[in-house]
Structure formats: structure tokens, C-alpha cells
Amino acid sequence: KKQIKRNPGLIITKLKDAEYVGRFASGVIDVVMGKANKFTFFHENGHRLKDMIYATGNKDLIGIWKQAETLFKNDAFYIDKTTG
């Protein structure tokens, strides 16, 4: 509820069963109860943020987003290699 207040216009649906843990589609975040964890909402809200950034058409902002994605992917790859 706290996150809903911090994200005006956000719609969250709680599902009982689905093949996924969470998803963002058509402006709605779906969270599957029993599969999702405390990070699922934030992960899916990141997809929502990406859509908002791209919707602005602001090339500088989009460039910053792409740079951050690249850094995150590199970090995730490194963590997988060192802990995997």
C-alpha cells in the first residue's frame, strides 16, 4: 500500500496462479502471490519507469537509461560468474 501511494496512477493486481512471478503489461503490474518476493514489485516498477522514459522521447534521458542497463547487465554477469 505504501508503494501504491508513492506511485500515482499505478495499478497492481495480485494473482493466485500464473506461470510468471510478476510482470508489467499495459500499465498494470501483476504480482503472483506465493511466487513473488519483496523485490518483485520494484523489478516490475523498473519496467514501468523504462516505458515512461521512452515515452518522453528525451534522447538524453533514454541514453542515460541505456547506459544504466548496460552497467547493470555487466554487474549481473559478473555476479553470476563469481557466485555461480
| Predicted local distance difference test score (pLDDT) of residue 82 | 61
The DSSP bridge partners found for residue 30 are 13, 23
Following DSSP, what letter does each residue of 9-52 receive, concatenated?
A: T-EEEEES--SSSEEEETTEEEEETTT--TTHHHHHHHHHHHHH
Instruction: Give the CA distances from residue 10 to residues 24, 31, 67, in Å, rounded to whole numbers and listed in that order.
Output: 11, 13, 26
pTM, entire model: 0.74
| Predicted local distance difference test score (pLDDT) of residue 7 | 81
| Predicted local distance difference test score (pLDDT) of residue 73 | 83
**Tens-of-pLDDT digits for all 84 residues of the chain?**
787 788 888 899 999 999 999 999 988 999 999 999 989 999 999 999 999 999 999 999 999 999 999 988 877 666 656 655
Q: What are the residues whose beta carbons fall under 8 Å from the beta carbon of 20, sequence distance 6 or more?
A: 30, 32, 35
| Predicted local distance difference test score (pLDDT) of residue 3 | 79
